[in-house]
A and B are shown apart, each in its own frame.
Chain A
Amino acid sequence: MTEFPIVRRRHPWRWVLSLLLLALAAALAWQVSRNEVFDFATVPKYMFDPRIMSGLVVTLYVTIGSMLIGLVLGVLLAVMRISDNPVLRAMAEAFIWFFRGTPVLVQLIFWFNIGIIFPSLAIGIPGGPMLFEISTNTLMTAAVTALLGLGLNEGAYMSEIVRAGIVSVDRGQREAALAIGLPPQRVLFRIVLPQALRVIIPPTGNQFISLLKTSSLVSVIAAGDLLTQATRIYNENFRILELLVVASIWYLLLTTLASIGQFYIERRFSRGFAIPKSEAGPSVLKQFFGRGEGKAVQQEGRPS
């Protein structure tokens, strides 16, 4: 047997760059710590303040809620856009055109003030009795407005993502499903969409992370989210930057958790497709100093 002694490549520049960055970070930290205006003690003090906690809950609920609305709406709009019914297609396109074409901040303020033109919402038979009536201001609380405003907007963006996913699935999959007699709806939900998910999930994860942050816009209608609460507190104690740091730490934590979740969901939905197992783990640090050993491409496949 012949031996082939191998000397792997070194990466000295990675070390140099890392040291430089560390030095920069240390210098910055030192500068900030010497600053007497910024009160460090305020940050941990408010980290778990009940108002911040309730803001966190609202942020989560608004984000997850409007993402769910966006997902359902996105699938619906995407299916409408690829249907052969021209009326449905036009409806979907008009919706997307409108909600993508106007700023979400404007939409939020608009929905919040919708009571001005429609003081009450009612369901009834025209000319006949009212079955149900509610004052718009009772229905459209800040939280409901936030969900609706962000959800409708998200739906417009998600529909593009879902459509790209559906289009990415090989046409043969749909044809084979139709050919064995599956009705169109089953073809969509059992065969096409599950495979489209592989393409849909990565950008959806990005949408979700973006939405976590965009949800702070609802503070303009005082919806009680993380930023609303931080604002309320600093309006009392004038510790503006400290409270913004508190809010930012929570946003960072949430987005980090979301990225980790995204990784595992992506892996789950690549079933049946060959993916390199060695890329497991959401961290890039793992690979950073690695000597780049050969990575075997394995197939992901197990009975479910």
Chain B
Amino acid sequence: MNASIVEVRSVSKSYGEFPVLKNVSFEVADGEVACIIGPSGAGKSTILRCINRLEKQSSGMIFVSGDPIGFRHEGGKYHELDEREVAAQRAGIGMVFQRFNLFQHMTVMQNIIEAPVTLGRMSKADAVEMARELLARVGLTQKENDYPAQLSGGQQQRVAIVRALAMQPKVLLFDEPTSALDPELVGEVLSVMKDLAEAGMTMILVTHEIGFAREVADTVYFMVDGEIVEQGAAAQVLTSPGHERTKAFLGRVK
């Protein structure tokens, strides 16, 4: 396998006394699609949010392309970064949310070019051109001047994916990207994600779409109560799970 893009090492987190993540470790290689499944409250969202430091882990370390997220490694110690420096790290990590979270006061185009332009990644003209190409790829050519409220859920989620892609991230994190969609809109978003996977994008995906995981994922992690209880190649974990909890869970969601 290729070099690791994301390394999660012994990450634990608790809210007060309550442990949400217990010593979680895994690695995601370049171009790999990793899927995290598990029951509600398992800590799936929390681990994703730790990867781009929307949450801070209590212990352990997360590396993206070798950089410790939220820290600077110096003299054998990890020094906590300030918010500006964390923002620079986040720019290389895309995230797609369950509820899209498009900026409501901006058009589709403004949503997409906001970060690349204000962070000085490219000129406005270049950003607009790139946005149009990306919108064409997800089948939304006509929508650049619409406001999010004028789009369907599926269209909004495709725009959200484009917005994340516009930063040319090293890895894309998806937190249940189709759970808030009407069933007939799920397909259009999954098909965009499948295209991305085939194009070699590194992705970590939290989902309840087991069929999609089987089709697209390389590896699957099954989480319960803050722990990864089973992991392995997608086909193996999803078809012949070894752990009782995994079997029970898959039996229920299928």
Contact = CB atoms under 8 A, between A and B. Distances in A.
30 contacts: A172-B99, A175-B54, A175-B97, A176-B102, A177-B103, A179-B54, A179-B90, A179-B94, A179-B97, A179-B164, A180-B95, A181-B87, A181-B88, A181-B89, A181-B90, A181-B92, A182-B87, A183-B83, A190-B118, A271-B147, A272-B105, A272-B147, A272-B149, A273-B105, A274-B149, A299-B147, A299-B149, A299-B150, A301-B149, A304-B107
Contacts of B106: 272
Interface residues of B, number: 36
A272 B90 contact: no
Nearest to B85: A183
Contacts of A183: 83-84, 87
A273 B101 contact: no
B87 A178 contact: yes
Nearest to A179: B95
A248 interface: no
Nearest to A191: B103
Contacts of A182: 87, 114-115, 118-119
Interface string B65-90: 00000000000000000011001111
Contacts, number: 89
Nearest to A171: B101
Nearest to B150: A301
Contacts of A173: 101, 103-104
Contact of A272 (B54, B97, B148): B148
Interface of A: 170, 172-173, 175-184, 186, 190-191, 194-195, 271-274, 299, 301-304
Contacts of B84: 183-184
A184 B90 CA distance: 12
A195 B167 contact: no
Contact of A179 (B52, B88, B102, B118): B52
A34 to B, nearest CB: 57
A179 to B, nearest CB: 4
Given A182-B87, A183-B87, A271-B105, 15 more contacts: A173-B103, A175-B97, A176-B103, A179-B52, A179-B94, A180-B90, A181-B89, A182-B118, A190-B114, A194-B105, A195-B103, A272-B147, A273-B105, A299-B147, A299-B150
Interface string B105-118: 11100000011001
Which among A175, A181, A304 has the highest number of chain B CB atoms within 10 Å?
A181
A288 B167 CA distance: 53
B87 A301 contact: no
A94 B160 CA distance: 41
Contact of B149 (A170, A179, A190, A273): A273
A180 B104 contact: no
